[in-house]
Amino acid sequence: MTGSTSSALKNGEDVSLVGSGTFAVKVRAAREGCPRTGTAITSAIAKQPSFRPGKSLKDAVS
């Protein structure tokens, strides 16, 4: 299951698990500066996986 989910996310597709939620890929913008030290560094655009829980999962946890 993790292999097919990873493949779909690499292809830019969202993956929905009925009753659980949705996995998607979000693009983080490039930015400058280091928050810790304040030195000037540049971080590149990055893609990162995200998960949005579905209503039934939220209800089960709360």
The dihedral of CA 33, 39, 43, 48: what is its sign? Answer: negative
Residue 40 lies in a domain: yes
Residue 62 lies in a domain: no
- The mean of the pLDDT values for the chain is 91
Whichever domain contains 34, its CATH number is: 4.10.520.10
Kindly list the strands in the beta sheet with 21-28, ordered across the sheet, starting from the edge strand earlier in the chain. 15-17, 21-28, 46-53
Residue 13 lies in a domain: yes
Report residue 1's pLDDT band, with 50, 70 and 90 as the boundaries: confident
Name the residue with tokens 């659980």.
20
What pTM value is reported for the model?
Answer: 0.70
Which parts of the chain fold into alpha helices (H)?
Answer: 2-10, 55-61
**46: domain range?**
2-57
Question: Is the pLDDT confidence value at 15 over 90?
Answer: yes
DSSP one-letter code for 4: H
Question: Is the pLDDT confidence value at 52 over 90?
Answer: yes
**Structural domains counted in the chain:** 1
Tokens of 12: 């830019």
